[in-house]
Chains A and B, each alone.
Chain A
């Protein structure tokens, strides 16, 4: 797995995720990276990567909306000017 630090360089994070506990994709997977968003500007996130942790918080066992909320709040908080993602190329939960 890889730790990717995404600076909040744009007003949006700019990723779409699918998956979460109790779905076919048990951990959130990146399905889109929008051009011009912070994630795209960072240059290290890729479509297909699975998000294991956000700012050290594990997404394992979290349902889709809960995982999405955690990511959204990590981007929104003014406590940090970045979001740390632990990602992997592999579907470790499958």
Chain B
């Protein structure tokens, strides 16, 4: 499970 998480992409950042 941990390895799968690490394959998730980083998120963009949005200013609101």
Interface residues of A (CB under 8 A from B): 12-20, 22-25, 31-32, 34, 64-65, 68, 71-72, 75, 94
Check B13–A23 contact: CB distance below 8 A. no
* Cβ contacts under 8 Å, A22 to chain B: 8-9
A-B contact count (CB 8 A): 46
Check A15–B16 contact: CB distance below 8 A. yes
Shortest CB distance A74–B (Å): 10
What 8 A-B pairs are tightest by C-beta distance, nearest first? A23-B11, A68-B14, A18-B11, A18-B13, A19-B11, A16-B15, A24-B8, A13-B16
Interface size class of B (residues with CB under 8 A): 10 to 19
Shortest CB distance B4–A (Å): 11
Check B11–A24 contact: CB distance below 8 A. yes
